[in-house]
């Protein structure tokens, strides 16, 4: 396997970073799940560094609200598959890297089959279901997982699940957060995020991947780095050297019933659905789209309403909170006739 020494000369000039080290990168197989704010910069730097095989997994399309932080995309890409556009751009960036597209949604049915082909996984997701699923799958298969998260001005990064021996390994995500109530935590779309933070944390994630592959530096193992973009300060929280939270299986992925904008408009014309707004009071006051108002954190107190057989469409700004609400309802009332508006109000008013 030959190495273009001129292309990688600057990194090969690093102390302790030789042609043999570069060859480790060239032989490595890295999977990035989520081609969004974190996945875009991470993928660009891993591609430029000469990773041998880079897998990109994402089933979403590009929307206008993505562009300020998802730097692989441009206005002409709106509506296109993220993974398709990302892979095309990355292949142009470095033709020597094998780029593999995974356009399907990561679920409990396919996650093990996908990650088995890779040496390390980078988590660029923006929802807790997939985050826990990736964590548990990596624990079960012995794969390290590079975690990153951003919200408003703060980012987090850690490296989970480094295998020490047959009986011990470093902490995983469940050691830090055994279980999180995702309904209480807004995502970037609703809460906002400064775009540069995505670049900073995504680049840090790529840095941890490179360190792991090349066996250089000290990994963020057993600790979490927290970065504040407002004051440019960071701190490290230590959570222990070994995992105390066993993972014995994968939770089945819950399929959220979705309704498209086109179908909703048809059913609104004949008044065959009831609308439920799960946004906050402030969002409701700023723009009242109609229907009854049950904020996401109050849905559980209104379960009796959802036992009625009439179809109900829950909506929020982007469809993520409404999906969480539908999931919560279906756990309590499995036969509830509820749907989440795919893409939320932004899709309804044509911002996708």
Q: Are 184 and 278 in contact (CB under 8 A)?
A: no
Question: Quick check: is 4 in a domain?
Answer: no
> Do residues 228 and 263 share a domain?
no
175 in a structural domain: yes
pLDDT digits (tens, 9 = 90+) for 205-231: 999 999 999 999 999 999 999 999 999
Q: Are residues 69 and 186 in the same domain?
A: yes
Segment holding 203, helix H or strand E: helix 195-214
Domain assignment of residue 218, yes or no: yes
pLDDT of residue 182: 55
Q: Provide the whole-model pTM.
A: 0.85
Is a pLDDT exceeding 90 seen at residue 16? Answer: no
Q: Are residues 218 and 272 in the same domain?
A: no
Q: What is the pLDDT of residue 314?
A: 96
Is 205 in the same domain as 154? Answer: yes
Average of pLDDT values for 285-309?
A: 92
Can you give the pLDDT at residue 352? 47
- Calculate the CA 136 to chain-centre distance: 15
State residue 155's pLDDT score. Answer: 97
- Asked whether residue 137 falls in the same domain as residue 230, the answer is yes
**CA neighbours within 13 Å on the CB side: how many for 115?**
26
User: Is 316 annotated in the active site?
Assistant: yes
d(CA 210, CA 56): 17
Residue of 3 and 94 predicted with greater confidence: 94
Active-site annotation holds for 188 = yes
Say which residues have a Cβ less than 8 Å from residue 335's Cβ, sequence separation at least 6.
Answer: none
Q: What is the mean pLDDT of residues 10-36?
A: 93
Mean of per-residue pLDDT scores for the chain: 91
For the chain, give the number of residues. Answer: 352
Structurally, the chain folds into a number of domains equal to 2
pLDDT at 40: 98
From 40, 87, 138, 188, the catalytic residue:
188
Quick one: 76 and 16 in the same domain?
A: yes
Please state, in angstroms and as integers, the Cα–Cα distance from residue 25 to each residue in 208, 211, 212, 258, 282, following that order. 13, 10, 10, 41, 49
Q: How many Å apart are CA 46 and CA 209, to the nearest integer?
A: 8
The answer to whether residues 207 and 336 belong to one domain is no
pLDDT confidence of residue 183? 52
Q: What is the pLDDT of residue 191?
A: 66
In this structure, the answer to whether residues 26 and 106 fall within a common structural domain is: yes
Per-residue pLDDT reduced to its tens digit, 173-204: 999 998 765 555 555 555 678 999 999 999 99
Which residue, of 174, 204, 238, is where some domain finishes? 238
Q: Which residues pair with 313 in a beta bridge?
A: 275, 339
Three-state DSSP class for residue 63: coil
Pair 278, 226 in one domain: no
Which CATH number characterizes residue 45's domain? Answer: 3.40.50.720
Residue 97 in domain: yes
- Tell whether 188 and 102 lie within a shared domain: yes
Give the DSSP letter of residue 116. T
pLDDT at 181: 57
- Flag whether 338 is in a domain: yes
Q: Which H/E stretch holds residue 340?
A: strand 338-341
Single out the residue in 203, 238, 273 at which a domain terminates: 238
Pairing of strands 29-33, 233-238: unpaired
Alpha-carbon dihedral of residues 161, 163, 165, 169, nearest 10 degrees? -20
> 72 is written with which tokens?
């692989």
- Top-confidence residue, 166 or 184: 166
User: How does pLDDT run across 52-110, given as a tens digit for each residue?
Assistant: 999 999 998 998 888 999 999 999 999 899 999 999 999 999 999 999 999 999 999 99
Domain boundaries, position 266: 258-348
* DSSP class per residue in 24-41: HHHH-EEEEE--STTHHH
Within 10 A of 230 (CB to CB), how many other CB atoms are there?
10
Domain co-membership, 161 together with 45: yes
From 40, 87, 138, 316, the catalytic residue:
316
d(CA 134, CA 125): 10
- Residue 13 included in any domain: yes
* Inside any domain, residue 248: no
Q: Assess if residue 246 is contained within a domain.
A: no
Which of these three, 204, 238, 272, is where a domain ends? 238
Indicate whether 193 and 53 sit together in one domain. Answer: yes
Q: What is the CATH number of the domain that holds 286?
A: 3.40.250.10
- Comparison of pLDDT for 184 and 35, the residue scoring more: 35
DSSP 157-192: EEEE--EEETTEE---HHHH-S---GGGS--HHHH-
């Amino acid at each position: 396997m030959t190495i273009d020494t001129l292309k990688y000369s600057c990194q090969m000039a690093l102390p302790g970073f030789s042609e043999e080290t570069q060859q480790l990168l060239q032989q490595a197989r890295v999977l990035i799940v989520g081609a969004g704010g974190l996945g875009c910069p991470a993928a660009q730097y891993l591609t430029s560094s000469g990773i041998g095989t880079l897998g990109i997994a994402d089933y979403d399309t590009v929307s206008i609200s993505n562009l300020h932080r998802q730097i692989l995309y441009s206005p002409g890409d709106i509506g296109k598959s993220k993974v398709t556009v990302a892979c095309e751009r990355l292949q142009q960036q470095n033709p020597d890297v094998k780029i593999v597209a995974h356009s399907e949604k990561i679920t409990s049915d396919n996650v093990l089959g996908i990650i088995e082909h890779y040496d390390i996984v980078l988590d660029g997701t923006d929802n807790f279901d997939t985050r826990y699923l990736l964590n548990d799958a990596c624990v079960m298969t012995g794969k390290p997982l590079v975690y990153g998260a951003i919200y408003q001005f703060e980012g987090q990064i850690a490296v989970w699940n480094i295998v020490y021996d047959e009986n011990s390994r470093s902490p995983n995500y469940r050691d830090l957060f055994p279980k999180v109530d995702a309904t209480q935590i807004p995502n970037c779309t609703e809460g906002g995020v400064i775009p540069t933070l995505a670049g900073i944390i995504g680049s840090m994630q790529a840095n941890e991947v490179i360190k792991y592959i090349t066996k250089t530096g000290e990994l963020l193992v057993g600790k979490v780095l927290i970065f504040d973009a407002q004051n440019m300060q960071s701190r490290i929280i230590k959570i222990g050297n070994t995992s105390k939270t066993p993972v014995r299986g994968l939770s089945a992925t819950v399929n959220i019933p979705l309704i498209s904008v086109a179908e909703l408009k048809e059913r609104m014309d004949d008044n065959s659905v009831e609308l439920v707004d799960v946004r906050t009071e402030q969002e409701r006051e700023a723009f009242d789209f109609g229907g009854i108002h049950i904020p996401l954190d109050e849905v559980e107190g209104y379960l009796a309403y959802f036992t009625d057989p009439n179809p109900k469409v829950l909506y929020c700004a982007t469809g993520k909170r409404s999906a969480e609400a539908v999931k919560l309802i279906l756990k309590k009332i499995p036969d509830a006739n509820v749907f989440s508006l795919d893409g939320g109000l932004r899709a309804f008013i044509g911002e996708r």
